[in-house]
Amino acid sequence: MANTINSGIAALRTLESWHVDHIYGIPGGTVNNLMYALDAEKDRIKYIHVRHEEVGALAAVADTKLTGHIGVAFGSAGPGATHLYQGAYDAMADKVPALFIVGQNPQALMNQDFFQEFDENPWFKDAGVYARTVMTAESLPHILDEAIRRAFAQHGPAFVTIPNDLADKEIPADGYYSSAKNFARPELGAGSDEQINQALDLIKQAKKPILYVGQGTYGAADEVMQFAKKFQIPVITTALGKEIIPYDFEALLGSAARVASKPANEALQETDLMLFVGSNYPFAEVMFKPDVKFIQIDNNPQVLGKRHKTDVAILADAKKSLQRFIQLGEDSQPSAWYAANVDNVANWHQYNDDMMNRTDGDLRFEPAFKEINRISEDDAIYSIDVGDVTQNAVRLLKVNGKQPWITSGLFATMGVGLPGSIAAKLSYPNRQVFNLAGDGAAAMVMQDLSTQVAYHLPVINVVFSNDALGFIEDEQEDDNHEWFGISLPQTDFAKVAEGQGMTGITVDKVDQMKPAFDKAVELTKAGKPVLIDIKITNERPIPVEKLTLDADKYDQKTIDDFKKRYYAEKLVPLSDYLKKHNVQ
């Protein structure tokens, strides 16, 4: 008799060949045979029992973002499957490969409106780059292998629905194989010298150029900074690209729009040329001036010319192209435009430092970021939730270029911080991990604090509690509408944490901040997760998309009122620095 292998075990062996060492999910009748295979393979692949499938799905997406290996989550038929959908759309929007395994009733009971049954493939095709139902036990490993290749090749989530009976059959042991060792990503070279010289001519003609970089410049931080200094061009990053360039680089303007920094928004209003590298920035249509000269470098032909009328479009690798720019271009003379922006960055940093050092008045969020920066290790990982905490982290975390920073980007899924921290600690057990969340987002997924406890994941969880959906509250203010539907009931998140076996610490005074974070370091070094619930005032963070500082645009009373509300007495508009440096 030929050698055989259980089809469920063969499926898991296929995942293992793609470097999958853990998988998230919740048991159910339609995935029981997969569960039995996980039990048999528990020495090779770890089952992470989350409390909600959405948390598992978001954690799987975070796995891919952090490691480059495919993240995997599963759910049983019906509600278990639909709960995966939030993570699926998150992966779709951020163009992240992920694999979602969906349970289904045994084949004999399919298409009979059986318990928890629905036609899953059409539903998942909208989000997924691949969605198939396994038809034979023998094809199960192959379909999973195909799904992973498609996910990587097409940059999105893939779905495989498995009828439960097909995960518990004997199949030929030599009848399946993995293509993991054969998989390769296409690599582009630099742009042509002709294209680069065209772009260099435009740079020479520009008076106020900007280098705008996104996630396509991962691994190219040195080239970006060298380019900026050589050609005297300040740098804007997308919010998702925050981790790429060290915070203290003199000409780093931060990110633009609302989840953003003051220098970036001001420079965008002045620039006459943009070099747009490795980004598909969705707010370009409303943030970029339509009449600026535009140079774009990207390795995806689908986005060339998508966000702005483009003068030079270069289909190429960002890092190699920047290197070629540096080789071909001549050093620029010291630029007054560059110097004005460097001064503006320094002033913005001073404002944020002053806010982080505040000790009077009601407790705000900034002193907490001072402590996070103080205790952060050189390779710390930050999982950031969605809301005010996103824009505050963008502005205040002093990343060094070696600290991963993940969130839900284009889809902006609230509740993403906790799942991301679980993924980070599972993949990097020896690195410090933070989960930073507002109280609205924390309430959505707080049941999975117990997952951190159950699997001994020493994460520093920080909840900023202001009893409101602050990000939406500010939008309603801008719409001149009275606040409605944005209040949150007071929640003692420290007690919530303690109820799940985790140490909870409440902070409501600034002098409690340092001891709380010192205790968090002590606990996590001892292998225990911790939650710090910081009770902050519901004051609005400074709206850098609606700055009211420039005396050439606003009357003095309007400026004074803005400065008083946002403690911005020392904050200077870019226009003042342009005048100081005689920039026309």
C-alpha to C-alpha distances, 466 to 438, 460, 489, nearest whole angstrom: 8, 19, 10
**Tokens matching residue 86:** 């939030």
C-alpha to C-alpha distances, 267 to 39, 340, 446, 554, nearest whole angstrom: 56, 10, 40, 18
DSSP letter (8 states) at residue 72: E
Of the candidates 386, 422, 462, 534, the residue annotated as catalytic is 386
Of the candidates 116, 154, 226, 323, the residue annotated as catalytic is 116
pLDDT attached to residue 571: 98
State the helix-helix crossing angle for 318-328 and 193-205, rounded to 10 degrees.
70
- What pLDDT band is residue 127 in, cutting at 50, 70 and 90? confident
Q: Residue 254: which of 355, 390, 410, 394 has the closest Cα?
A: 394
Based on the residue annotation, tell me whether 386 is a catalytic residue of this protein: yes
Of the candidates 205, 269, 327, 475, the residue annotated as catalytic is 475
Q: Residue 102: which of 67, 65, 68, 57 has the closest Cα?
A: 57
**Tokens matching residue 186:** 């296409």
Q: Is the pLDDT of residue 110 over 70?
A: no
d(CA 334, CA 347): 20
pLDDT attached to residue 122: 76
Higher pLDDT, 113 or 38: 38
Side chain identity at 98, as an amino acid letter?
A
pTM for the whole thing?
0.95
**Tokens matching residue 381:** 């990982």
Secondary structure, 3-state, 215-229: HHHCCCHHHHHHHHH
pLDDT digits (tens, 9 = 90+) for 344-377: 999 999 999 999 999 999 999 999 999 999 999 9
d(CA 504, CA 564): 35
Q: Is the pLDDT of residue 220 over 60?
A: yes
Of the candidates 100, 249, 471, 493, the residue annotated as catalytic is 471
d(CA 423, CA 107): 33
Based on the residue annotation, tell me whether 61 is a catalytic residue of this protein: no
Based on the residue annotation, tell me whether 358 is a catalytic residue of this protein: no
Based on the residue annotation, tell me whether 54 is a catalytic residue of this protein: no
pLDDT digits (tens, 9 = 90+) for 238-295: 999 999 999 999 999 999 999 999 999 999 999 999 999 999 988 888 899 999 999 9
Q: What are phi and psi of 240, to 5 degrees?
A: -70, -20
- What pLDDT band is residue 1 in, cutting at 50, 70 and 90? very low
Based on the residue annotation, tell me whether 493 is a catalytic residue of this protein: no
pLDDT digits (tens, 9 = 90+) for 377-433: 999 999 999 999 999 999 999 999 999 999 999 888 999 999 999 999 999 999 999
Of the candidates 150, 258, 324, 364, the residue annotated as catalytic is 258
Of the candidates 45, 375, 472, 521, the residue annotated as catalytic is 472
Q: Is the pLDDT of residue 25 over 70?
A: yes
**Tokens matching residue 566:** 């946002």
Higher pLDDT, 78 or 192: 192
Based on the residue annotation, tell me whether 471 is a catalytic residue of this protein: yes
Based on the residue annotation, tell me whether 475 is a catalytic residue of this protein: yes
Q: Residue 140: which of 101, 86, 189, 82 has the closest Cα?
A: 101
d(CA 282, CA 237): 13
Which residues on neighbouring strands pair with residue 161, listed in sequence order?
102, 133
- What pLDDT band is residue 443 in, cutting at 50, 70 and 90? very high
**Tokens matching residue 145:** 């292998």
d(CA 88, CA 209): 38
Of the candidates 9, 41, 48, 53, the residue annotated as catalytic is 53
pLDDT attached to residue 522: 98
Average pLDDT, the chain: 95
